[in-house]
Each structure stands twice: as structure tokens, then as C-alpha cells.
Amino acid sequence: MQNRNISDIIEHYLKDILADSQQIEIKRSEVAEHFNCVPSQINYVIKTRFTIPNGYIVQSKRGGGGYIRIAKINLIDDTDILDELTAYIGSSISATRGFQVVQSLYEEKLLTQKEANLILTTIDRGTLAFSEKKLEDAVRARILINILERLRCAD
């Protein structure tokens, strides 16, 4: 254990508790006291180790009755597809290429036909009828990238 720093130890401790349930609720000050560290160390561990891409969602309430709630979420099995598509989209994408992205998601069974059609309507040229094509392509890219981020987490 001598090669592990306090952040690793706190992370392991919280993950051990989470192994028994889908969600935990902790008091930052109590955990900090348990490890004889400052409460900001607990914040650091939670912000860097318990993120959505790592399979966790965090909620907190500040104040006297405050808490930090950490819940496990299910990530889709193959995030490589989403990473490739995110890189492909970049900061700008045409309507034609946007259609191809949605088609790929549908073919990979990450979207139902209804979901794919709703997304296609959202990113369509007629919907994003900006006077500047560059702006239209940038907004389309943002929409698609946000959808991909949501797909990383399954209900």
C-alpha cells in the first residue's frame, strides 16, 4: 500500500462501498476525517475519479445537511464507436455526413429507428436554417456530439 497515494486510497474506499450498492451518500467532512485529510482532497477524488465516462454520476448538496451522492451508471459496451464518431464530427459537420453518423448509430443498434429519425429531423438543413452554412455545420456538430455523450450512459 506504500506505493498508493491518498487519492488512490480514497477512491478504493469509495468503490468498495459502491460494490455493495448502486449508490452511496457520503458526507465530505466525515470521509476527510476518516482519512485525516482536507475536505478538498475528497472533492478532487470525486471530480477526477467518479465521472460519467468512468461510469458514475455525482450529485451534491452543500450546507449543514449536505451530502455527496455517487451512483453507478451503465455505460454502453463499446465506447470505441462513439469515440471514433466524435473525432469524425469534430467542430463542424455537413448535413450529409451528419446523416451518415446517425445511420452508423442506427446500424450499430445504439438508436432505434424512431430515435434516429428524431435526430435526423433535429440536424436537418431545414431545421437548422441559418444564413451562414459554417454556423449551421457547427451547431449540427454540437448537437451530434452531445447526443454521443448521452449515449455513453444507458438507463
Same domain, 52 and 68: yes
Which residue range forms the structural domain that includes residue 87?
79-154
Average pLDDT over residues 5-19: 93
Instruction: Mark which of 38, 73, 108 sits at the end of a domain.
Output: 73
**94-140 tens-digit pLDDT:** 999 999 889 888 877 888 999 999 999 999 999 999 999 999 999 99
Q: Is the pTM of this model over 0.75?
A: no
**72-81 tens-digit pLDDT:** 876 566 666 6
Question: Which stretch of DSSP H or E encloses residue 26?
Answer: strand 23-26
Task: Please check whether residue 23 lies inside any domain of the structure.
Answer: yes
From residue 28, alpha-carbon distances to 14, 32, 34, 57, 73 in Å are 12, 6, 10, 16, 21
Question: Which stretch of DSSP H or E encloses residue 68?
Answer: strand 67-72
**30-65 tens-digit pLDDT:** 999 999 999 899 999 999 888 776 778 888 887 776
Task: Please check whether residue 1 lies inside any domain of the structure.
Answer: no
